[in-house]
């Protein structure tokens, strides 16, 4: 038995919004792999829950009319990894979420829950930042969309307003077209561990594959929320592909990030692995894009 005050099961998105307004103190539960664990530990004990897990309308991955990749918020990690649209256009996201927890966690954990939880170490978060994902929120006034960087306010706090639930994550065409990326999770063990640092890089090369047209990089655990590294990106954009570029790009990362000392790793160690991961992920992204280094 969970120490739960009450459970409200939403029967539709509109019902979920109504329940959110009727029970403003209640916690939304999607897959529950964070919420139920926190309830068990006492952190969320005695709370009311609004379950949206039954809303199949929030599952499935498609390309919408504006050619965005539309990922319903309740897609589990394992379904994202296996999805043909993800594999074709943004395979790195499938690879990143395939490193969350273990197999059973990847069957229950959802990408919506992973982002609404607001933690910097979420394996999906750095890749979604690096691909400039757009968060779709549905509330009493209808649907609004917001760039993922604005959605994360501070550690554990996202821009989910009264009555709202997250209904989808969108990847715009301009973001995924001709773009290839790689994610590196640095953790103490290969399964059931939280990232010491997560690094997601993607590049779009010129048609002759000699020049970096656009490079984007985002980190998890390099700061209180997932973050892009704009100076490093600027150092790589419009530059010829070369080993020297990989080196310069990865060193510039240190001007952008601000990792902390924690029991998991020191600031100095995180800085060290940030540079090394940035370099390796850049080299792999260029290779996937058809470039030579």
Site residues (CB under 8 A) for another protein? 1-7, 9, 29, 32-33, 36-37, 40-41, 46, 51, 53-54, 78, 101-105, 107-108, 190-192
Indicate the residue among 12 and 258 with the shorter CB distance to another protein: 12
Structure tokens at 209: 């594959």
Q: DSSP string covering 215-261, please?
A: EEEEEESSSSS-EE-HHHHHHHTTPBP-HHHHHHHHHHGGGT-----
Shortest Å distance, C-beta 135 to another protein: 25
Indicate the residue among 51 and 271 with the shorter CB distance to another protein: 51
On the CB side of 36, how many CA atoms lie within 13 Å of its CA? 13
Cα 55 to Cα 9, 16, 161, 181, distances in angstroms = 9, 9, 20, 31
Rounded-to-integer distance, Cα 280 and Cα 254, Å: 15
β partners of residue 200 = 183, 218
Shortest Å distance, C-beta 107 to another protein: 5
Rounded-to-integer distance, Cα 224 and Cα 262, Å: 12
Shortest Å distance, C-beta 130 to another protein: 24
Indicate the residue among 99 and 202 with the shorter CB distance to another protein: 99
Indicate the residue among 3 and 67 with the shorter CB distance to another protein: 3
Indicate the residue among 119 and 236 with the shorter CB distance to another protein: 119
Shortest Å distance, C-beta 26 to another protein: 13
Shortest Å distance, C-beta 127 to another protein: 19
């Amino acid at each position: 038995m969970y120490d739960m005050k009450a459970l409200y099961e939403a029967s539709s998105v509109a019902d979920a919004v109504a329940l959110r307004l009727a029970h403003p103190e209640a916690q939304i539960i999607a897959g529950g792999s964070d919420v139920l664990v926190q309830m068990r530990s006492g952190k969320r004990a005695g709370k009311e829950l609004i379950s949206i897990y039954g809303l199949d309308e929030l599952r499935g991955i498609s390309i919408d009319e504006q050619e965005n990749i539309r990922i319903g918020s309740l897609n589990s990690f394992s379904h994202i990894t296996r999805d043909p649209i993800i594999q074709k256009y943004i395979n790195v996201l499938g690879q990143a979420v395939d490193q969350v927890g273990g197999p059973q966690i990847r069957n229950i954990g959802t990408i919506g829950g992973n982002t609404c939880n607001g933690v910097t170490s979420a394996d999906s978060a750095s890749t979604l930042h690096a691909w400039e994902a757009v968060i779709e929120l549905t509330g009493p006034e209808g649907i609004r969309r917001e760039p993922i960087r604005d959605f994360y306010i501070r550690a554990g706090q996202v821009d989910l307003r009264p009555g709202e639930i997250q209904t989808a994550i969108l990847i715009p065409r301009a973001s995924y077209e001709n773009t290839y990326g790689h994610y590196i999770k640095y953790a103490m063990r290969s399964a059931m561990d939280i990232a010491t640092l997560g690094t997601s890089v993607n590049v779009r090369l010129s048609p002759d594959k000699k020049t970096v047209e656009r490079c984007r990089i985002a980190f998890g655990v390099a700061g209180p929320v997932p973050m892009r590294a704009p100076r490093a990106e600027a150092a790589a954009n419009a530059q010829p592909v070369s080993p020297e570029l990989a080196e310069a790009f990865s060193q510039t990362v240190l001007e952008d990030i601000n990792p902390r000392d924690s029991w998991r790793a020191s600031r100095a160690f995180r800085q060290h692995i940030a540079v090394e991961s940035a370099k390796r992920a850049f080299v792999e992204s260029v290779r996937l894009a058809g470039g030579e280094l």
